[in-house]
Amino acid sequence: MDKFNDFLILLDANLSGSWWFPALLIGTGIFFTIYLGFPQFKYFRSALKIVSGKTRNSESDGETTGFQALTTAMSGAVGTGNIGGVALAIWTGGPAAIFWMWITAIFGMTTKYVEVTLGHKYRTTLSDGSISGGPMYYIEKGLNINLAGKKLPSKWIAILFAFLMMITAIGSGNMPQINNIALVMNTEFAVPKLFTGLFLGGLLWIIIIGGIKRIASVASKIIPIMGLIYFGGALIILIENYQNVIPSFNAIFAQVFTGSAAVGGFLGASFAMSLKYGVARGLYSNEAGQGSSPIAHASSKNKSIDQGVVSILEPFIDTLVVCSVTALVILSSGVWTQKFDTTFSKTDMIILEGTYSDQKDTNGKYLNPDHVEELNKYVQSLDSNVKEFSGLLEVNNGILGNDDITIIHSRSVAEDVSVLNNGNSYSGTLNVLNGKVTDQITFKGKSLVSSAELTAKAFSQGILGQYGGKLVAIALLLFAFSTAITWCYYGDRSTAYIFGEKGVVWYRNFYVLCFILAAVIDTTVVWNIAYVVVALVSIPNLIAMFALRKEMKLLSDNFIINK
């Protein structure tokens, strides 16, 4: 598993982790924003009127209303990215990462407008009467590519996109959702992870066999309910920590171009990390440019350009509203710099040579600033003097006997570490190679926490107490489960494009199986899978959108005329 995780990290470093992917993603949004005359601002009020039914009765063939299509797409976007993903961005990139999430969302509103309009225009009716649309159709029917003077059949590019979307649906819309649900349900309610996976897997199957109409019906009911639950709890936390709200905004903006400085147990993050994880989390959260939402919006009875205008609301609600609320709760509560008792994940734990400290004096200054600086470089994969430990660890009744080592877990210096074997204190020796323990053993102690666990800790502070964590668990259950439902639809439409309707039932079976298994897989590995597949599927979609820019310009101008 460690080798597989290292391979994923390598892939991610050359995809979303490199400079060109954020440039391609944000650059596409910037280009269309200017090219189409800032539609995310011009058409925002029109989007509200259309989705509320107050204007433009422009129905065409379809299976859902414009509102149902929007809530279906929203249920696919509003998930663990809004609860666990925001926490992950802060944990890795610091508060400055939230700024880059916002930037991704602002330009993502235009990107969403373009891809949804095109996806709806080129949709088709399948032999069973169902509507199917998305990037694979506008890639096949609208895209012409010439390489070295030879035309490249766009059908093969469309098949490649659909195949990548099938994988993305599992690696992004499926596995991280149940993984976070199972983690929080286990932490807050002591529900075994496997039981959560099996129970929700069965419920997932019952819903997805009903197709888009049943999915849309469920989504249109879940979205308002989960919004009320989550925002109610968040408002309580923000009111209680009102004096920290403005400083939280300051923390986001103050270090946008310098990276986030070390504070508390947080060892700091560079500008590159803040940018990378802010953009990656922003894309994962609102899905702009990924090509997934057009598949849901294609079922709408609205005209193509009208549904494209409606989709502008999606990144706004998802990232600029929901993600911002989560970020402010985490930052204002201060939990992102605090260490909590936790069971260590093997992929997030490393043992270093020598003793390093991040302790502070009574004035809040680090006792050993040189230690923090070196560890800061190490966690950012920069040149440092820090070396990984290899050798034997002596353990006596669960307590480490080595005095010349430091354990890093979740990018922080671990404290009060104990070693367990099957729940009991361990005594003996452990083999360590390049900082990794090779024996099957459990480490516990205090360290930073990330993902949905960090958000749960933020909601548990103050007046809500332990009920705050339970509120997050319930909200996450609704958020993430609705996401998994919608993403199965994205996957089965992609399957139908390649293999026909006969292949859909097999894909659904495999989708549910992966859903159940992901409940007990290591969290870090699951998130790394998501990073990689999201980047891969976005590339052909972004290229196709740019190639169809002139057609999109005509469609957009037509909306202005009939506004």
Query: For each of the chain's 563 residues, which pLDDT tens digit applies?
Result: 667 777 877 887 777 667 788 788 889 999 999 999 999 999 999 998 888 776 655 556 666 776 777 777 777 777 677 887 888 889 988 999 999 999 989 999 999 999 999 999 999 887 777 788 899 999 988 776 544 455 556 788 899 999 989 988 888 888 888 887 888 788 778 899 999 999 999 999 998 888 777 887 777 777 777 778 888 889 999 999 999 999 999 999 988 888 788 888 888 888 888 887 787 777 767 888 889 999 989 888 888 899 999 999 999 988 898 899 999 999 999 999 999 999 998 888 999 999 999 988 888 788 899 999 999 888 887 888 999 999 999 999 999 988 899 999 999 999 999 999 988 999 999 999 999 998 889 999 999 998 878 998 999 987 888 888 888 888 888 888 888 888 999 999 999 999 988 889 999 999 999 999 988 876 567 667 777 887 888 888 998 999 899 999 999 988 865 55
- Give which of 8, 496, 563, 538 is closest to 291, Cα–Cα: 538
Please give the Cα distance from 72 to 485 (Å, whole number): 9
Q: What is the pLDDT of residue 420?
A: 94
CATH 1.20.1740 domain range(s) in the chain: 2-38+58-338+457-561
Q: What is the pLDDT of residue 341?
A: 93
Please give the Cα distance from 371 to 265 (Å, whole number): 13
Determine the topology of domain 2-38+58-338+457-561 in CATH. Amino acid/polyamine transporter I (1.20.1740)
DSSP 463-528: GGTHHHHHHHHHHHHHHHHHHHHHHHHHHHHHHHHHH-GGGHHHHHHHHHHHHHHGGGS-HHHHHH
Please give the Cα distance from 483 to 80 (Å, whole number): 8
Q: Which two structure tokens, joined as six digits, stand for 161?
A: 């996109």
Question: Residue 444: helix, strand or coil by DSSP?
Answer: strand
433 forms beta bridges with 436
Please give the Cα distance from 164 to 18 (Å, whole number): 20
Secondary structure letter of residue 465 according to DSSP: T
Length in residues, the chain: 563
User: Side chain identity at 14, as an amino acid letter?
Assistant: N
Q: Which two structure tokens, joined as six digits, stand for 272?
A: 């590159």
Q: What is the pLDDT of residue 147?
A: 47
Residue pair 153/83 in contact by the 8 Å Cβ criterion: no
Q: What is the pLDDT of residue 467?
A: 87
Q: What is the pLDDT of residue 520?
A: 85
Burial code (b: 16+ CB inside 10 Å, e: under 16) for 185-223 equals: bbbbeebebeebbeebbeebeebbeebbeebbbbbbebb
Measured between its terminal Cα atoms, the distance across the chain in Å is 55
- Give which of 315, 326, 118 is closest to 233, Cα–Cα: 326
Please give the Cα distance from 548 to 550 (Å, whole number): 6
420 forms beta bridges with 425, 442
Phi and psi angles of residue 172, each rounded to the nearest 5 degrees, phi first: -115, -50
Secondary structure letter of residue 299 according to DSSP: T
Sign of CA dihedral 298, 301, 303, 307: negative
Q: Which two structure tokens, joined as six digits, stand for 116?
A: 């949804």
Residues sharing a CB contact under 8 Å with residue 275, sequence separation 6 or more, in sequence order: 22, 93, 97, 100
Burial of 553 from C-beta contacts in 10 A (0-12 / 13-18 / 19+): middle
Residue pair 174/547 in contact by the 8 Å Cβ criterion: no
Residue pair 447/409 in contact by the 8 Å Cβ criterion: yes
Quick: pLDDT tens for 267-320: 888 888 888 778 777 776 788 888 999 998 988 888 889 999 999 999 998 889
- Give which of 300, 374, 386, 315 is closest to 110, Cα–Cα: 315
Burial code (b: 16+ CB inside 10 Å, e: under 16) for 359-386 equals: eeeeeeebeeeebbbbbbbbbbeeeeeb
Please give the Cα distance from 548 to 379 (Å, whole number): 42
Phi and psi angles of residue 225, each rounded to the nearest 5 degrees, phi first: -65, -50
Residue pair 499/203 in contact by the 8 Å Cβ criterion: no
